[in-house]
Copies of this chain bind each other. A is one copy, B any other.
């Protein structure tokens, strides 16, 4: 089977032009099939403050009002997505930016309002693989914003980790899928302050035990849940690490980071 590399980059990197450019250079130079999924970044919050749109979070997830949905459509689907695509094109990577509405590529259902009403948030139930494959087969690189589409015609806010997981799920079986969750740590650390406490691998029983001991918590929980889901659903490799380490692994080096088993 051919390889397909799926990279998820987070908001923090999008807010740092130099770091982003370094990543995009490395990403462009990866030969073969690849997909990029990007998150939000603090720019959306800055803009919300300027526009007096209230920011409401619940357990690290955004509650999305209608004005906030329009704002993330602008920022994620417009500014960030197009900036990344424009840079990738300049670096010789034939990128195409997509929101979930484009070609209805990420079909979602609105999350039920109980127990927490997250507002205009979508849970993706279908990835239009044929369209993404058409791009990949043309040598193009899809760049996905974390926005999904509901059949009513609404754009919904979706979690970027979840988008990456769903895309990996859709392609596993067709390709040998490599999912890279890039963030600002070298992987899962038992002690956040100590890089030497990096777990080189993590399986489900170890994860459950870490959760019980509260050694992993907060934002890491949905991220790791997505990782395990992707792995269970057929991903060949799932790595949590820095962008640099992830790019090196994709290029054939030994891995540094946390590999999910």
A binding-site residues for B, Cβ under 8 Å: 47, 50-51, 70, 73-79, 81-83, 85-87, 89-91, 94-99, 101-104, 134, 138, 140, 147, 149, 151-155
Query: Which secondary structure dominates where chain A touches chain B?
Result: helix
Chain B neighbourhood of A134, CB < 8 A: 134, 138
Residues in chain B near residue A94, CB distance under 8 A: 103-104
CB pair B74 A89 closer than 8 Å: no
4 pairs of A and B residues whose beta carbons are closest in the complex: A78-B78, A90-B153, A74-B74, A86-B101
A202 to chain B, nearest CB (A): 36
Question: Which residues on B sit within 8 Å (CB–CB) of A149?
Answer: 86, 89
Kindly report how many copies of this chain are found in the complex they form together.
2
Given contact pairs A73-B78, A77-B82, A78-B79, a sample of 5 additional A-B residue pairs in the complex whose CB atoms are under 8 Å apart: A75-B78, A87-B153, A89-B149, A94-B103, A95-B102
Q: How far is the CA of A95 from the CA of B155 in the complex (A)?
A: 14
Are A97 and B99 also in contact (CB < 8 A) when A78-B78, A83-B155 are? yes
- Nearest neighbor of A105 in chain B, beta-carbon distance: B96
Cross-interface CB contact of A50 among B50, B91, B96, cutoff 8 Å: B50
